[in-house]
């Protein structure tokens, strides 16, 4: 830059007389740059400059300070010069953050490696956005925790003051049921379900169809389902079938449950559901099924595929049922709900809540309250449904007389 | 501002059109394309009223637009009278317009904010005042600079903003403001400013991110320091594969500075990364080739044409024009080019040569058949679309009942007219075809035999008498069977369905196989165009020639996209560039 600067200075001085209205201006460096930049756009912007001469604005001063003040910072950075692609990626992320992109502030070595090895720019950005959101959630949670801790401290102080006032013993009929007691009670119920409960199978044969993210979602949905089942009045006896001990499912489940895994009141087995139960009793639940479930049967074994399908590969679970020649059913969502948007595939915890509710009450309205509200606009009245059915029948009967009416029909079309 | 006004004056016809024909979809589209520079509403209106004041011209305009409107209507009628081919460019758009349910997408005007964007450089106090009015969550500086970019403000305004920020902040301007400023510099092609920002960035930051690099590459390419842009490209390569736009900038810059070797090397590198070059890049090679009389360069250009052929890419209108001028500039070879269309028989209207046949070679045919069987029908899990028993039953059936002439997608044909009875429509079609002594196969599902009001027993019996029928399970897919039966019968066999088969095409493993499938589909699919039930059966004509860049040595035929026609990926251009050598 310096070189070209000195070279051009005499040139600029020579040209000055041509631009008369800038005569007053001193010949400091900005003049040159102003002149160079206005040379190209002279045609379009010359009139504007006459109206508002920006002399006193010193538009280019910031550049000088940027150049001079930046030197120190740059030297500090460039001292750690190494051609490590990992470091380069880290710097790229840092620059993206400066640009206001959705990237995390701190990134661990493993995540950095995942980012670096992502094949495309979009997959990099996607993973970084995921980390960014995760980071935001984490900091928000931490903030909340701190606020809570402070509030707790204060109430403790207040309580201390109150406790000193009233110290006399009180009469209670019951001991307070602590969480531990609740857990024991649920354990008893679970044990009972293991002996006499209706089986409900989660089919774990889908590990090959899922990516790590989907697998994670599946396992967290399984955890939630098990939780809902445990709290129910009359729990199912849950089976995890086709669960390979060296598979992804097993690893993730053990990781999430920790020590609790071996104390769960459910049956985890490598065997398939067709080996455990008679085939006639099995009903495979899948949204692709042509058969609609009408009632909940207490003597059947329902199977739910533990499969989160973000890739939209329809018919995977139906294919599995077809292969084993099992009966299939789907929930009567269209019959009872005015469906809006979204797929008819529900999450595993929604499924188990619907089934539990059906088991206890037998009413579809009650059970289908667990379908997310965003997916439908409300319940269909049964009378409305039957009305539609009657209308359909009517339509068909008029269509049957189609050949007689044909000439009229074509006439109409021609007019249009 | 003045610039745009000037621009419109020079195209008075276009301007009138917009003013008087209102803002129908087509017109407003045109307008938006031409005025992409000014988006914000208030400015635009001031421009319109300014123009309207000229009352003298109004009458003149009114008469001329009336004429134009008539012309427009006539053209519209012409278009709608002969419905375009399924795969012709723009056909999908037309189909969508005929469908009354589709809603017009309305381009909403940008939100008017309380803050008026400055049109001239402001002083620090003025900026401070402006900031007081600002009530949003984001920082004022980055918001206002985004707005400046959005409305393409003059550089001086942006500069005064930066000066104000720097003054407030000990002379430091943050990176995102610098990048936004750089964007404006590149937009206005202010080379000296670009170099200044480049120097600043080099000093302050060890490494930039992709957006900064991209802008710098684009900016530097037109300066004397264009070689440094290649260093920036190397920097990008350290973290990720540069985009095709980066390569485009570099190649165009190298060509601009007469460095053909670098340009070709970059082009090879681009192909090596499995990126599809932008058509602009290829066009630049042709544009530059006019001034070069070099056999090696010419051969490389022909290689580009072959690349277009192999990847079934079609040049745009201006690219086609550059190809034409390059060919015509080749010394001693006397090429002559013209823009034509191809007749239905596959003959070029310009020179009378016949285009390449649409039919696949025996080798390609076998390859496609194998792929359909493996990926579309089987797909790793036979239970997904059918069952092994059914597949076996179908294969035996096809083997025994000899080759067919026409395979009919029973359900697709029967549901053609929603008001007519299904079995009746199917019977009509089958009877008309059977009269021509064709061997027919009707594919359907088993529920068609569960006779009820829409599927009459007697009519289905008649269908079964006139044609071979195969009924798949109700939960099986019938399209894969259709494809297999047609392919198995041989090259003469065609199939009838209106289905565009895009989902099955998507099942194929790679782009090459998908193109092969599409080519086969063009040559073998019959789509019924009859409008009314019980009328005479008419089919859309089947292409007998292949729409692809092709050569016979002393002639080239190159299909191209017109600028104003929107073509979907499964449609084909219908305009051609015909080049031939005088002998």
Among residues A247, A241, A260, the alpha carbon closest in space to that of A215 is found at A247
Q: Do A91 and B419 touch (CB under 8 A)?
A: no
Q: How far apart are CA A366 and CA B329, in angstroms?
A: 79
Nearest CA to B113 out of B42, B188, B195 is that of B42
Residues A374, A340 contacting (CB under 8 angstroms)? yes
DSSP 8-state assignment for residue B469: E
Q: How buried is A114 (Cβ within 10 angstroms: 0-12 exposed, 13-18 middle, 19+ buried)?
A: middle
A222 min Cα distance to partner chain B (Å)? 25
* pLDDT for res B138: 78
Q: Which residues of A touch B160 (CB under 8 A)?
A: 54, 57, 59
Output the pLDDT for position B566. Answer: 86
From chain B, pick out residues whose CB is under 8 angstroms from the CB of A61.
163, 166-167
- Pick the residue from chain A with its C-alpha nearest to B159: A59
The predicted structure's pLDDT at residue A35: 44
> Which pLDDT belongs to residue B86?
74
Classify strands A199-203 and B468-472 as parallel, antiparallel or unpaired. unpaired
Give contacts of A 305-344 with B, CB under 8 A. Answer: 315-316, 318-320, 322-323
Global ipTM: 0.72
Four-residue CA torsion sign, A233, A237, A242, A247: positive
Kindly identify which residue of chain A lies nearest to residue B6, measuring between CA atoms.
Answer: A44
In eight-state DSSP terms, residue B373 is: I
Q: How many CB atoms lie within 10 A of CB B418?
A: 7
Contact between residue B499 and residue B412 where contact means Cβ atoms under 8 Å apart: yes
pLDDT in tens, A21-34: 444 444 444 444 44
Chain B residues within an 8 Å CB radius of A77: 205-206
Q: What is the DSSP string of B436-447?
A: TT--EEEEEEGG
Sign of CA dihedral B82, B85, B91, B96: positive
Alpha carbon distance B273, B271 (integer Å):
5
Picking from A229, A303, A294, the residue whose alpha carbon sits closest to that of residue A266 is: A229
A residues 22-41 closer than 8 Å to B (CB):
33, 36-37, 40-41
A89 to chain B: closest CA residue: B239
Give the containing element (helix H, strand E) for B406: strand B406-409
How many CB atoms are closer than 10 A to CB A15?
A: 12
Token pair in block for residue B373:
């069987």
- For position A2, what pLDDT does the model report? 44
The alpha carbon of residue B581 is apart from the nearest alpha carbon of chain A, in Å, by: 44
Residue A122 contacts B, CB cutoff 8 Å: no
Does the beta carbon of A372 lie under 8 angstroms from any beta carbon of chain B?
no
Task: Name the B residues in 103-162 with CB < 8 Å from any A CB.
Answer: 120-121, 123, 142, 154-156, 159-160, 162
Structure tokens at A179: 């969480």
Long-range contacts of A368-371 (CB under 8 A, 24+ apart): A368/A331, A368/A333, A368/A336, A368/A337, A371/A333, A371/A337, A371/A346
Which of B317, B318, B322 minimizes the C-alpha distance to B301? B322
- Residue B387 contacts A, CB cutoff 8 Å: yes
Q: Which of B171, B179, B177 lies closest to B142 in space, CA to CA?
A: B177
Distances (CA, A) of B63 to A411, B15, B28, B69: 39, 14, 21, 10
Pick A269 or B451 by higher pLDDT: A269
Q: Which residue of A has its CA nearest to B3?
A: A44
Q: CB–CB of B2 and A60 under 8 A?
A: no
Any residues with CB less than 8 A from the CB of A51 and at least 6 apart, and which?
A: B120
Q: How confident is the model at residue A201 (pLDDT cuts 50, 70, 90)?
A: very high
DSSP labels for A116-127? HH-SSHHHHHHH
Residue A192's pLDDT is 94
Contact (CB, 8 A) for A339 and A303: no
Residue of B nearest to A119 (CA): B240
* A406 → closest Cβ in B208, B454, B534: B534
Specify the pLDDT at position A31.
Answer: 42
Inter-residue contact A336 to A379 (CB < 8 Å): yes
- CA A370/CA A348 separation, integer angstroms: 11
B43 touches chain A (CB under 8 A): no
- The shortest CB-CB distance from A67 to any of B203, B454, B531 is to B203
Q: Predicted confidence band at A387 (pLDDT cuts at 50, 70, 90)?
A: low
Residue pLDDT tens, chain B, 583 long:
334 444 444 444 444 444 333 444 433 333 333 334 444 444 444 434 344 444 444 444 444 444 445 454 444 444 444 566 777 777 777 777 776 654 445 454 455 456 677 888 888 888 888 888 777 777 888 888 888 888 888 888 888 888 888 888 887 888 888 899 999 999 998 888 888 889 888 888 888 888 899 999 999 988 888 999 999 999 898 888 999 999 999 999 999 999 999 999 999 999 999 899 999 999 999 999 988 888 899 999 999 999 999 888 999 999 999 999 999 998 888 899 999 999 888 899 988 899 999 889 999 999 999 999 888 888 778 888 888 999 999 999 999 987 999 999 999 999 888 888 889 999 999 999 999 999 999 999 998 888 778 888 889 999 999 999 999 988 888 898 999 999 999 889 999 998 888 889 888 888 889 989 999 998 899 988 887 877 788 888 888 899 999 999 889 999 999 988 888 877 889 899 999 988 7
B199 CB within 8 Å of a chain A CB: yes
The span from the CA of B304 to the CA of B287, in Å, is 13
What is chain A's mean pLDDT, rounded? Answer: 78
- Interface size A-B, in CB pairs within 8 Å, comes to 165
Contacts of B476 (CB under 8 A, 6+ apart): B385, B386, B387, B390, B445
CB contact under 8 A, A320 and B154: no
CA distances to A325, B25, B34, B74 from B64, in Å: 73, 21, 21, 16
CA pair distance B27, B21, nearest whole angstrom: 7
CA A25 to chain centre: 60
Q: What is the mean pLDDT of residues A232-242?
A: 94
Of the candidates A217, A210, A202, A221, which has an alpha carbon nearest to the alpha carbon of residue A313? A210
Measure the CA dihedral B298/B299/B305/B307, to 10°.
-140
Instruction: Name which of B156, B157, B202, B275 to mutate to probe chain A: the one with the most chain A Cβ atoms within 10 A of its Cβ.
Output: B156
Q: What is the C-alpha to C-alpha distance for residues A34 and A41, in angstroms, rounded to an integer?
A: 11
pLDDT at B46 (0 to 100): 40
Would you say residue A37 has pLDDT above 70? no
Is-contact B438 B431, C-beta < 8 A? no
Q: Do B155 and A37 touch (CB under 8 A)?
A: yes
Which is nearest to A288 in space by CA: B501, B412, B474, B378? B474
Which chain A residue is nearest to residue B161, measuring alpha carbons? A59
**First and final C-alpha spacing in chain B:** 54
**H or E stretch including A240?**
strand A237-241
Give contacts of B 497-556 with A, CB under 8 A. 531-535
For chain A, the straight-line distance linking the first and the last C-alpha, in angstroms and rounded, comes to: 74
pLDDT band at A383 (very low <50, low <70, confident <90, very high): low
List Cα–Cα distances, A342 to A345, A375, B312, in angstroms.
8, 6, 36
Per-residue pLDDT tens for A55-109? Answer: 445 666 677 766 665 444 444 444 444 567 788 888 889 899 988 889 999 999 9
């Amino acid at each position: 830059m310096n070189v070209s600067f000195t070279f051009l200075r005499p040139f600029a001085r020579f040209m000055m007389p041509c631009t008369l209205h800038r005569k007053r201006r001193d010949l400091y460096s900005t003049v040159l740059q102003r002149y160079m930049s206005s040379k190209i756009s002279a045609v379009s912007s010359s009139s504007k400059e006459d109206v508002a001469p920006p002399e006193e604005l010193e538009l280019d001063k910031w550049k000088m300070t940027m150049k001079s003040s930046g030197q120190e910072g740059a030297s500090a950075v460039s001292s750690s010069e190494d051609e490590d692609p990992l470091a380069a990626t880290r710097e790229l992320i840092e620059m993206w953050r400066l640009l206001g992109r959705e990237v995390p502030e701190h990134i661990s070595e493993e995540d950095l490696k995942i980012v670096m090895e992502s094949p495309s720019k979009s997959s990099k950005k996607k993973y970084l956005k995921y980390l960014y959101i995760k980071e935001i959630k984490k900091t928000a949670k931490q903030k909340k925790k701190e606020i809570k801790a402070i509030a707790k401290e204060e109430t403790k102080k207040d309580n201390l003051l109150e406790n000193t006032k009233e110290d006399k013993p009180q009469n209670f009929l019951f001991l307070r049921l602590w969480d531990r007691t609740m857990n024991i009670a649920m354990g008893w119920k679970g044990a009972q379900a293991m002996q006499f409960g209706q089986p409900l199978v989660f089919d774990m044969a889908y590990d090959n169809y899922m990516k790590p993210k989907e697998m994670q979602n599946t396992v967290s949905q399984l955890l939630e389902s098990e939780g809902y089942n445990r709290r129910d009045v009359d729990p199912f006896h849950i089976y995890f079938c086709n669960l390979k001990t060296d598979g992804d499912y097993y690893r993730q489940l053990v990781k999430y449950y920790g020590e609790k895994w071996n104390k769960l009141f459910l049956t985890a087995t490598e065997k398939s559901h067709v080996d455990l139960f008679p085939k006639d009793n099995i009903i495979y639940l899948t949204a692709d099924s042509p058969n609609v479930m009408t009632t909940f049967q207490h003597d059947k074994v329902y199977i739910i595929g533990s499969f989160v399908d973000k890739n939209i590969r329809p018919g995977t679970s139906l294919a599995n049922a077809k292969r084993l020649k099992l009966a299939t059913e789907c929930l009567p969502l269209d019959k009872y709900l005015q469906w809006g948007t979204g797929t008819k595939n529900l999450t595993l915890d929604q499924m188990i809540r619907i089934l539990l509710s059906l088991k206890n009450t037998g009413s579809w309205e009650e059970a289908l309250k667990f379908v997310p509200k965003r997916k439908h606009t409300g319940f269909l009245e049964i009378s409305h449904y039957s009305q539609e059915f009657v209308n359909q029948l009517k339509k068909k009967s008029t269509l049957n007389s189609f050949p007689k009416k044909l000439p009229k029909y074509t006439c109409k079309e021609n007019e249009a | 501002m003045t610039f745009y006004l000037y621009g419109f004056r020079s195209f008075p016809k276009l301007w009138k059109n917009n003013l008087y024909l209102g803002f129908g979809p087509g017109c407003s589209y045109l307008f938006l394309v031409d005025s992409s520079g000014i988006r914000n509403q208030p400015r635009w209106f001031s421009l319109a009223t300014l123009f309207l004041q000229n009352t003298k011209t109004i009458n003149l305009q009114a008469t001329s637009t009336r004429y134009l409107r008539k012309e427009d209507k006539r053209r519209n009628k012409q278009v709608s009278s002969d419905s375009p081919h399924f795969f012709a460019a723009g056909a999908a758009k037309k189909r969508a317009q005929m469908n009354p349910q589709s809603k017009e997408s309305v381009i909403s005007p940008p939100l008017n904010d309380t803050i008026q964007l400055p049109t001239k450089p402001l002083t620090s106090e003025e900026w401070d005042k402006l900031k007081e009015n600002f009530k949003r969550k984001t920082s004022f500086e980055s918001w206002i600079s985004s707005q400046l970019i959005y409305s393409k403000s003059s550089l001086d305004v942006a500069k005064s903003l930066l000066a104000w920020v720097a003054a407030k902040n000990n002379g430091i301007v943050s990176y995102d403001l610098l990048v936004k400023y750089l964007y404006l510099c590149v937009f206005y092609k202010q080379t000296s400013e670009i170099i200044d920002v480049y120097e600043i960035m080099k000093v302050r930051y060890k490494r930039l991110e992709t957006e900064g690099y991209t802008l710098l590459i684009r900016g530097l390419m037109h300066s004397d320091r264009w070689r440094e842009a290649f260093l920036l490209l190397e920097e990008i390569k350290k973290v990720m594969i540069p985009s095709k736009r980066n390569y485009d900038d570099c190649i165009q810059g190298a060509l601009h500075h007469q460095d053909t070797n670098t340009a070709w090397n970059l082009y090879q590198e681009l192909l090596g990364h499995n990126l599809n070059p932008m058509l602009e890049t290829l066009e630049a090679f042709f544009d530059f080739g006019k001034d070069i009389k070099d056999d090696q360069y010419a051969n490389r250009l022909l290689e580009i044409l072959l690349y277009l052929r192999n990847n079934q890419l079609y040049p745009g209108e201006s690219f086609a024009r550059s190809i034409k001028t390059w060919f015509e500039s080749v010394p001693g070879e006397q090429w002559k080019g013209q823009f034509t269309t191809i007749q239905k028989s596959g003959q070029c209207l310009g020179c009378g040569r016949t285009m390449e046949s649409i039919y696949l070679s025996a080798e390609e045919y076998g390859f496609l058949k194998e792929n359909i069987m493996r990926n579309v029908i089987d797909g790793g899990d036979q239970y997904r679309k059918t069952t092994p028993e059914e597949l076996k039953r179908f294969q035996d059936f096809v083997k025994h009942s000899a080759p067919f002439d026409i395979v009919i997608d029973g359900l697709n044909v029967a549901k053609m007219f929603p008001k007519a009875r299904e079995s009746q429509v199917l019977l009509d079609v089958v009877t008309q075809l059977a009269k021509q002594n064709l061997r027919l196969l009707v594919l359907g599902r088993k529920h068609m035999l569960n006779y009820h009001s829409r599927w009459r027993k007697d009519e289905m019996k008649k269908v079964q008498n006139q044609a071979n029928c195969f009924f798949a399970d109700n939960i099986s897919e019938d399209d894969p069977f259709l494809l297999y039966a047609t392919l198995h019968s041989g090259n003469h066999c065609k199939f009838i369905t209106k289905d565009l088969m895009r989902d099955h095409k998507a099942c194929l493993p790679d782009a090459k196989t998908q193109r092969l499938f599409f080519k086969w589909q063009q040559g073998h699919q019959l789509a019924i165009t009859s409008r009314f039930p019980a009328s005479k059966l008419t089919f859309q004509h089947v292409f007998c020639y292949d729409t692809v860049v092709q050569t016979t040595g002393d002639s080239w035929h190159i299909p191209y996209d017109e600028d104003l026609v929107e073509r979907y990926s499964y449609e084909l251009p219908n305009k051609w560039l015909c080049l031939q050598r005088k002998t």
